[in-house]
Structure 1
């Protein structure tokens, strides 16, 4: 069963807000000069922000945050955020891969930005209603 895709827009303003909330002011998240100087294609979103957006999709599918029992990802590609008003978009999709005897449903999650998979091995176990 495929879950309804969800899209999340990420702008430089979002990166500033996330930096303030998380305390992560690494210049790769706000300075093109610094980011390209260390070999990145430009300013990138915080990995944990990308993970959180995919997690938001999981909680919306599950119906509530406390239904999510387990959630994990691996980061495969950075999310490059252009310095414009549009930013970029992350599309999160999911597929139900099975249900355990104790009522937990496994969801495999995919997050894509500009045609590239940005998370791998993204999985969630959610408590489903019986």
Structure 2
């Protein structure tokens, strides 16, 4: 068996600046580093926070301006928050809540490319 450490996940975005602004406002994630292809064909931006090692890699492709096909949107990234009520109120104000499950105590927000992000209370 090979043991590995999870370091990031990738999502492709159609508008890099809009996505960076969304992730900063919605979840406090900021740019950690960036790689720009020498020919301008792609830009990779790694976003994260100061207390987790895990990052999200936002990939912008020059030749893919159209929306990405996300299927049934069953894949998602989960975020644990300290103050669920405060987070919910903030996301409600942003207008990005796309699904709520009060019985489970969770809800989902969606980013500008319609990727779903689960929000759940800290255990």
Q: Same fold (TM over 0.5)?
A: no
Q: Which has the higher contact order (CA 8 A, sep 6+)?
A: 1
* Richer in helix (by share): 1
Please report the TM-score for the alignment, with normalisation by the length of structure 1. Answer: 0.26
Give TM-score scaled by structure 2 length: 0.27
